[in-house]
């Protein structure tokens, strides 16, 4: 069964460009993962400090492999001081039908 989620966080005032740069680099790496089906990053049109990421993985094993990828921890460590939350807020979702 596919593993699908939204991740969201808010860049600190003035950090949105650096967050976007980090996120674009991370996006390229995640999209190359064998089990990744989608990784799309967005900002809210009315608030470019608000970031939303739609992620989809082949299954739970592919998601676990994503969590263990060697570039994940460095990305999160670089992101942490740039965002208002302690970490990305994850919402797991299931498709209807």
Is the pLDDT reported for residue 94 higher than 90? yes
In this prediction the pTM is 0.94
Close Cβ partners of 38 (under 8 Å, ≥ 6 residues apart): 54, 55, 56
pLDDT in tens, 68-90: 999 999 999 999 999 999 999 99
60, 4 contact by CB (below 8 A): no
Tokens 């990784």 found at: 39
Let me know how many helices (H) and strands (E) the chain has, helices first: 3, 4
């Amino acid at each position: 069964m596919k593993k699908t989620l939204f991740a969201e966080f808010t860049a600190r005032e003035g950090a949105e460009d650096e967050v976007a740069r980090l996120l674009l680099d991370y996006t390229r790496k995640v999209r190359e993962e064998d089990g990744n089906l989608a990784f799309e990053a967005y900002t809210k049109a009315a608030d470019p400090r608000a970031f939303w990421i739609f992620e989809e993985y082949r299954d739970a094993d592919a998601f676990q492999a994503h969590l263990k990828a060697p570039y994940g921890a460095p990305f999160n460590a670089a992101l942490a001081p740039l965002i208002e939350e302690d970490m990305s807020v994850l919402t797991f979702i299931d498709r209807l039908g």
